[in-house]
Amino acid sequence: EPEVTQTPSHQVTQMGQEVILRCVPISNHLYFYWYRQILGQKVEFLVSFYNNEISEKSEIFDDQFSVERPDGSNFTLKIRSTKLEDSAMYFCASSVGSVNTEAFFGQGTRLTVV
């Protein structure tokens, strides 16, 4: 069964460093998303991506964040100058269509900023 894969599963980084979280969405999917879940809190939407551009972003997704689909298979989230409060589980998701279709989630990357 096709699945969304994320690497790495855990990432520890020093405050102020840049991190790149990687995702391989399901191959025939067209819409890609990033979500985060701070420990003990709800899953929060960060950004959606379609047709090689951001289609929607939340207020969390500020200039510190960027997304890219560099090679037609990977979908990356870059966090510049990480802060302690960026520590969270980051989930990638993809879907065939937009609002009325199921989003498939990856296993997540646990980011710890120290």
Partner 1 sequence: AQSVTQLDSQVPVFEEAPVELRCNYSSSVSVYLFWYVQYPNQGLQLLLKYLSGSTLVKGINGFEAEFNKSQTSFHLRKPSVHISDTAEYFCAVRSGGGGADGLTFGKGTHLIIQP
Residues near partner 1 (CB under 8 A)? 4, 31, 33, 35, 41-50, 55-56, 58, 91, 93, 98-100, 102-108
14 or 52: whose CB is closer to partner 1?
Answer: 52
Residues whose CB is less than 8 angstroms from the CB of residue 25 and which lie 6 or more positions away in sequence, other chains included: 4, 32, 73, 75, 92, 93, 94
DSSP-based three-state secondary structure for 17: coil
The least CB distance from residue 15 to partner 1, in Å, is: 26
The least CB distance from residue 34 to partner 1, in Å, is: 9
